[in-house]
Amino acid sequence: LLNLMGTFETVVNKSKRRYHNMFPSVLVGMLGSTIPVSIIGTRFAMSVQPFWKPERYIPIVGMLCGSTISGIVVSVSYVLKELHDNRDKVEMYLAFGASRFEACKPIATEALRLALTPTINQMSVLGIIAIPGMMTGAILGGSSVDQAAKLQMVIMFMIAASTALASIVTTVLALGMVVDGDHRVRSDRVDVREHAIYRARNWMIGKMVEGFWVSMRPLLRCFKRIKGKHSDEANNGETERLLG
């Protein structure tokens, strides 16, 4: 459920550009990264038996999903932006005989670098400059500093592994979808419009407003007619007084 909600958030709200079959691609990336990493980390690194204890497993999966969403959004958004802005460059590589993955390798490399930079920067100052919230909470809760530091290190390694794996999977799937097997850049597979959910919402709101005004028109005409009748009667009465 957490992965499904994270996929929905990524595709619908976070991404300005979308490609065909983006939802299943992102879902595969989310499930293929958060579930194995959370199981391995909880079972072997934290020695939790069984690993599916809700009080341990659900918070860990939630943290992994939060970081994974950010990595996927950054990598996929960069890939789609570069394929849209630098399409001529990619097509030139393809025209000179490069495969689609060779032509898109610089884009994929830069996308993964951007997606993993926040996590790497956070790991580089972990416990030295910045003390994360989980470590602080564990210390305030009565745990020893060593135990809190080890727990935070395990969590950060899990977050880094999950983010890297999800970013790699979604980047490869996005490139494979936008640049097809015939080595063509398929811009028609990229949608820059709002998501269909928001387009349907706007259409429904427009129809509701239109229906409201259509239903109000007879009432407005009746009101104008009554107002005009009262105005005519007042004018006639004033004219009779002046003539009399």
Q: So where are the chain's domains?
A: 2-192, 195-244
CA–centroid distance for 179 within its chain: 22
**27 φ/ψ sector (left φ>0, alpha ψ -120 to 50, else beta):** alpha
User: What is the 3-class SS of 117-164, one letter each residue?
Assistant: HHHHHHHHCECCCECCHHHHHHHHCCCCHHHHHHHHHHHHHHHHHHHH
pLDDT tens, position by position, 154-174? 888 888 898 999 899 989 888
Q: How far apart are CA 132 and CA 150, in angstroms?
A: 12
- The pLDDT assigned to 73 comes to 87
- The pLDDT assigned to 8 comes to 64
pTM: 0.74
- The pLDDT assigned to 149 comes to 76
pLDDT tens, position by position, 4-31? 666 666 666 666 777 788 888 888 888 8
